[in-house]
Amino acid sequence: MSGKRKKKINADRLTPRQENFAYLVGYEKYTYSSAYRKAYSSDKMKEQSIWTNASSTAKIAKVSNRIDYFREQRLKEERRKFKWTISEAESELRTVLEKNKQDLIRAEENGESAKHATNDAIIRAVDALNAMSKRIEDDENELALRKAKADAETAEIKNRLLKEKIGDEGEKIIFDINL
């Protein structure tokens, strides 16, 4: 292997300190300055120098990419640990709602006043279900908007490519473009 090739490969790699810094920031959620203190010898450095060096280190493209990689890995692990789904949450909320509605009906049938906790539980369950529904609706709307924007961009690109392909004569021809 030539010397230039070896330098290119090593230029793409992080130093052990950069790797440690990226891991501490991306996976362990350290601040830049805390990660810098832990990854580098900074005992004799002023705070301002630590902040500056930490920020500069985080801005290095390969370090920044590695931070993103570690963040993604942390999120994947958190998702694996957390197996609560929207369906499960909805089911539990509906159970709470039904149980407390039955308690409310039973109290009315017995001529008693409903417990404050029962009313609170019903209101909170309904609020939580509404919030879940709104969030799902917002996510669906955002996805639809992103799809529409992507479709519009695709149409613009197709139009530009057609114009480039047919040149000036394209102004005289009408195309029916199906997206």
Q: What percent of the chain has pLDDT over 90?
A: 32
Q: Tell whether the model's pLDDT for residue 146 goes beyond 60.
A: yes
Q: Are 94 and 130 spatial neighbours (Cβ–Cβ below 8 Å)? A: no
Which range, 2-6, 44-48, 88-92, 132-136, is most confident?
Answer: 44-48
Contacts for 85 with CB less than 8 Å, ≥ 6 apart: none
Domain ranges of the chain: 3-81, 86-171
- Which tens digit of pLDDT belongs to each residue from 158-168? 888 887 877 65
Identify the residue whose tokens are 């490969």: 9
Number of residues assigned to the chain: 179
Name the CA radius of gyration of the chain, rounded: 29
The reported pLDDT for the residue numbered 50 is 94
Q: Are 93 and 129 spatial neighbours (Cβ–Cβ below 8 Å)? A: yes
> Long-range contacts made by residues 99-105, C-beta under 8 angstroms, separation at least 24?
100/125
Q: How far is CA 127 from CA 1, 61, 90, 171, in A?
A: 65, 44, 12, 56
Query: Which amino acid belongs to residue 101?
Result: K
Q: Tell whether the model's pLDDT for residue 174 goes beyond 60.
A: no
d(CA 162, CA 157): 9
The reported pLDDT for the residue numbered 70 is 95
Torsion of CA 35, 36, 40, 43, to 10 degrees: -110
Nearest to 23 by CA among 53, 54, 68: 68
- Which tens digit of pLDDT belongs to each residue from 92-136? 888 888 888 888 888 888 888 877 777 888 888 888 888 888 888
Q: Tell whether the model's pLDDT for residue 137 goes beyond 90.
A: no
The reported pLDDT for the residue numbered 140 is 84
Query: Which amino acid belongs to residue 39?
Result: A
Q: Tell whether the model's pLDDT for residue 21 goes beyond 60.
A: yes
Mean pLDDT of the residues in the chain: 83
